[in-house]
Amino acid sequence: MKLLKDKAPYEEVKRALLELEKRWLREAKTEAERQQTRRGMAEDLVTLAYSFNKPWVEFGKWLRRVQRLGFSNLALRVHITCLYVQSLHLFPRQAREAWAMLEDTERRVRRLRRERPLRQEHLESISHAKKVARVLPPPPR
C-alpha cells in the first residue's frame, strides 16, 4: 500500500507483490491456502496492470493466470471482467473475448436471487463498464 501511495512505478509494485506472494506461499500450511494466495495475488496483479494502463502482454498474463486458477468469488469476477472491458482500447483485438466474458459474468449475476444485496451492485458495475467501454462489442458471428 505504501508503494501505491508513494506512486511507485509499476515494476516496483509488481515486484513487491510477487515477493509477498512467495513469502505467503512459504507460510501456507495447506494446498488450499496456497491456491487462495496465488488466486488473490493474480487478481491484485490484474487490477494493478489495469491501473497502470499496461498493454495486453502484461494485463493478459495476469488475466490468464486468474482464469486458470479461478476467481476467488463472484465479486472479483465482476471486478476483473469490468476492468477487462474498460481497458479494451489498449488491446482491441481482445474485444470478442472480453465482451463474451462480460456476458457470462452478467448471466451469473442474474442467477442470484433478487434479494441478494450484492446482485444490484454487481449489475450496476456491469452496466457502468458497458457505458464507459471505448471499444464496442463486436457484431455476432
> What is the pLDDT at residue 129?
98
Structure confidence at residue 80 (pLDDT) = 98
What was the pLDDT predicted at 1? 63
Predicted pLDDT at 4:
67
For residues 45 and 69, what is the distance between their CA atoms, to the nearest angstrom?
13
Backbone CA torsion sign across 18, 69, 139, 84 = negative
Cell of 16: 513487491
Show pLDDT as tens, one digit a residue, over the chain (141 residues). 667 667 889 999 999 999 999 999 999 999 999 999 999 999 999 999 999 999 999 999 999 999 999 999 999 999 999 999 999 999 999 999 999 999 999 999 999 999 998 999 999 999 999 999 999 999 887
Measured over all CA atoms, what is the biggest interatomic distance in the chain, rounded to whole angstroms? 48
Pull the grid cell for residue 28. Answer: 501456507
pLDDT of residue 5: 67
